[in-house]
Structure 1
């Protein structure tokens, strides 16, 4: 059973408040409480306290309606900065800071990290193909669906590959997003949609005067 005592909660809130520029102190406390609630769903035994991959993916699915396994896995990895297989409370707050309230620059870096599947600093043609194949609905037709996705990859590269090297660097991606903000989630939804975002904040950040 994971619980945060009042004293521990205040200490955690103090330490994470300093690093958070998008949440106020009350909001951070609410998010830490939610963190401890989600720890109850964590099934993997681990030496340090954190939300495991399954509990985190379940949170993304039930709270924000995410369904793409590959994208949810990549979002988990984007939160899990030290790559230890769990999201600790500091990673939880800093991850949600960008996920919920990041500015365009922060969200661009985050989305690129999600889409760069092998972490080599580029989004390759193959990575685009995998992500678009996953995120597009399967349409019943006689044509080979892979051909349609290959065409879509070609169109995407033509629009976003500014240095024409057959892959997207961060500079290519950032320039494209600055020109057309809709391209931020070009390879699958990895940020909350407006409706689920508002519902989440309304539920988690209840006005303390209403309690």
Structure 2
């Protein structure tokens, strides 16, 4: 029991520190979270500087996955919830988060077109347009063969979950949308450094 109490206490302190960091980032010194949020540019700058993300398209998608109420800014609840997945997320939570990042049109499926767009975005630097398009189409076919279990030409959450459970490397198959462990540790060192003293 006491171990769980300690874990709960640490969790509570971590959330308080995340809220404090949010205040700092939105420039509020009075401690009020009402009607404030991180806009997309500010949030992308945080993903870049604190979590080492570099892909514009994926950073936009991560923003939309954090922004649950679709008001184009991340409020304090969305901030804490999203970061909890980044830093402490279970495999299931990370699975759900990645799926949300990859489908954007709200229908609950990752379509062939979306796979094509994401892959084209991540590969476009490397070769000429014609080669790229042909190569990406082939890649889309390979991915669908591997992940589209019900053969309906798109990837449902059930498809995605089954594929990733069989091969965990497929979790970020369409590009890095979770921060690397090193970046998480750096972020924690920054965000939670005051826990032993000032959070009590």
8 A Cα contact 1:51 1:87, kept in partner: yes
- State whether structure 2 residue 107 is matched by structure 1 residue 120: yes
Contact 1:22-1:102 within 8 A present in 2 as well = no
For residues 111-137 of structure 1, give each alpha carbon's deviation from its aligned partner in whole angstroms, at most 9, with x where no partner exists: 111101211111011100111111236
Distance in 2, Cα, partners of 1:102 & 1:55: 23
- Distance in 2 (CA, whole Å) between partners of 1:58 and 1:156 is 31
Deviation at 1:158, TM superposition (A): 0.8
Contact 2:62/2:101 (<8 A) preserved? yes
The structural deviation recorded for 1:191 is 0.4
Distance 1:129 1:109, change over 3 A: same
Q: Is the 8 A contact 1:100 1:197 kept in 2?
A: yes
How far is the alpha carbon of 1:142 from its aligned partner? 9.0
Contact 2:124 2:132 in 1 (8 A): no
Q: Secondary structure at the match of 2:107?
A: coil
Gaps of 5+ in 1: 1-20, 42-46
Q: Quick one: distance in 2 between partners of 1:156 and 1:125?
A: 10
Residues 57-72 of structure 1 mapped to structure 2, 5 A cutoff: 57-72=44-59
Q: CA RMSD in A?
A: 2.2
Contact 1:60 1:72 in 2 (8 A): yes
TM-score (norm 1): 0.81
C-alpha separation between the residues in 1 aligned to 2:10 and 2:71? Answer: 25
- 2:12 equivalent to 1:25: yes
Residue 96 of structure 2 corresponds to 109
- How many pairs were matched up? 186
Q: What are the Cα deviations for residues 171-192 of structure 1, in whole angstroms up to 9, with x where unaligned?
A: 0000001101110101111101
Q: Which of the pair has the greater relative contact order for Cα pairs under 8 Å at 6+ separation?
A: 2
- Asked whether the equivalents of residues 128 and 187 of structure 1 are also in contact (C-alpha less than 8 Å), the reply is yes
Moved over 4 A (4+): none
Among 120, 127, 141, the residue aligned to 1:154 = 141
SS at 2:185's partner residue? helix
